[in-house]
Every structure is written in structure tokens, then in C-alpha cells.
């Protein structure tokens, strides 16, 4: 039996994917929003409706790339209360806006050097979170201050598991961008 609210959530999800939105929305985020509004919806129900209706929907969407996730994820990190506390402790050189802009540029630079072969089909959302972590490390080395971000801050701000950030960082990003000599 189709629940009208889960159908509505699926339609919003599908519309955001089909529209080529540069700020991808996840099924998890949709489910949380509907729950906050008092509806009985969960990810499993939305996916169930998606499987049913994808049989009749003819539009196909292009999968998002990690580049599409940066603005949203970086905003979540920058606006995190944990980061505000950390920036005070670490005496960061920049304001939040300047830090955001430098991080966004560095993240784009990092991803431009990662070919699709190197990315190896990794989850673009998780890879974007890991690249944010790497960008902070690289900026801290370049400007001579201690890194501001931790895997925990990024995890809590973006809802990406710490172990996923660590795995992407250790297996892909660190060997490619951080030499052991430094």
C-alpha cells in the first residue's frame, strides 16, 4: 500500500535529482524533515515507493559528483557549533567566510587532481566530506597553523560516519596528496 506522504517525499527526491540540482538532497534528509513535521516516514518506505514508481518514470538522472556536494557539506561544517568552538581554541587566521572560501577553492583543486579512475566509484558524498578534511590539513600546513577540523567535527556536522571519512582519507587522499617527508 502506497503512503501518500512517502510518495510525496519520493517525488521531491526525484525532482531534485532530475532537475540537476547542484545541492543534492538525500533520502535520509527528506525522511528526517518529514519526521520533524510529524509524519510517519522513514528511508525504507521512501525507497520502497521509489522502486515501485521508477518502473513507470522515464526520465533518467545523471549521478551527482563529489563537486556537487561541497557547498552544502562545507556550509554544514562551517555553521557547526563544534567548529566555532574549535576556531576560538586554534586561533584560526580567518573569519568563517574567508575560511569557507579558502576551503572551497582548495577542495575544488583537490578534486580536479583526482581522476574518475582514482576515485574508483567511491560514494561522492563521503568523498566530498573526506576532501574537506584533507583541504583543512593542507591549508594548515601551508599557513603554519594546527589543523582546525577533525574527523569527528565533519562527521557530526555532515552526518557522514567518522570511519568512512578516515577510510577515504587513509586509502585514497593521504597517499596522493600528503608526502611522508613533510
Residue pLDDT, tens place only, 98-140: 889 999 999 999 989 998 888 888 888 899 999 999 999 999 9
Residues 42, 81: one domain?
A: no
Residues 167, 89: one domain?
A: yes
Distances (CA, A) of 158 to 11, 100, 151: 24, 15, 10
Residues 81, 110: one domain?
A: yes
Report whether 130 contacts 89 (CB < 8 A): no
Residues 8, 97: one domain?
A: no
Which three cell numbers mark 100? Answer: 569557507
The reported pLDDT for the residue numbered 178 is: 86
Q: Give me the half-sphere count of Cα atoms (radius 13 Å) on the Cβ side of residue 118.
A: 16
User: Number of structural domains, the chain?
Assistant: 2
Residue pLDDT, tens place only, 65-88: 777 777 888 999 999 988 888 887
Instruction: Identify the band that residue 53 occupies on the pLDDT scale cut at 50, 70 and 90.
Output: confident
Instruction: Identify the band that residue 91 occupies on the pLDDT scale cut at 50, 70 and 90.
Output: low
Residues 18, 98: one domain?
A: no
Contacts 24+ apart (CB under 8 A), 137-142: 137/178, 138/106, 138/110, 138/177, 138/178, 139/102, 139/103, 139/106, 141/182
Look up the domain containing 30 and give its range.
4-53
Contacts 24+ apart (CB under 8 A), 153-156: 153/77, 153/80, 153/82, 153/83, 153/86, 154/77, 154/129, 155/129, 156/80, 156/82
The reported pLDDT for the residue numbered 166 is: 95
Q: Within a domain: residue 58?
A: no
Mean pLDDT to the nearest integer, 20-49: 82
The reported pLDDT for the residue numbered 181 is: 42
Interatomic CA distance for residues 119 and 16, integer angstroms: 24
The reported pLDDT for the residue numbered 60 is: 64
Residues 77, 156: one domain?
A: yes
Amino acid at each position: 500500500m502506497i503512503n501518500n506522504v512517502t510518495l510525496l517525499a519520493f517525488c521531491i527526491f526525484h525532482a531534485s535529482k532530475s532537475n540537476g540540482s547542484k545541492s543534492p538532497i538525500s533520502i535520509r534528509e527528506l525522511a528526517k524533515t518529514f519526521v520533524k513535521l510529524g509524519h510517519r516516514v522513514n528511508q525504507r518506505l521512501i525507497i520502497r515507493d521509489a522502486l515501485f514508481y521508477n518502473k513507470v518514470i522515464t526520465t533518467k538522472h545523471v549521478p551527482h559528483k563529489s563537486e556537487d556536494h561541497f557547498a552544502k557539506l562545507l556550509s554544514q561544517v562551517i555553521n557547526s557549533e563544534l567548529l566555532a568552538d574549535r576556531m576560538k581554541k586554534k586561533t584560526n587566521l580567518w573569519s568563517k567566510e574567508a575560511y569557507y572560501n579558502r576551503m572551497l577553492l582548495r577542495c575544488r583543486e583537490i578534486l580536479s587532481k583526482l581522476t574518475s579512475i582514482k576515485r574508483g566509484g567511491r560514494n561522492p558524498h563521503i568523498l566530498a566530506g573526506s576532501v574537506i578534511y584533507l583541504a583543512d590539513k593542507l591549508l594548515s600546513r601551508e599557513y603554519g597553523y594546527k589543523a582546525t577540523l577533525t574527523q569527528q567535527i565533519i562527521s557530526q556536522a555532515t552526518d557522514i560516519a567518522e570511519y568512512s571519512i578516515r577510510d577515504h582519507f587513509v586509502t585514497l587522499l593521504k597517499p596522493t596528496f600528503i608526502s611522508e617527508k613533510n
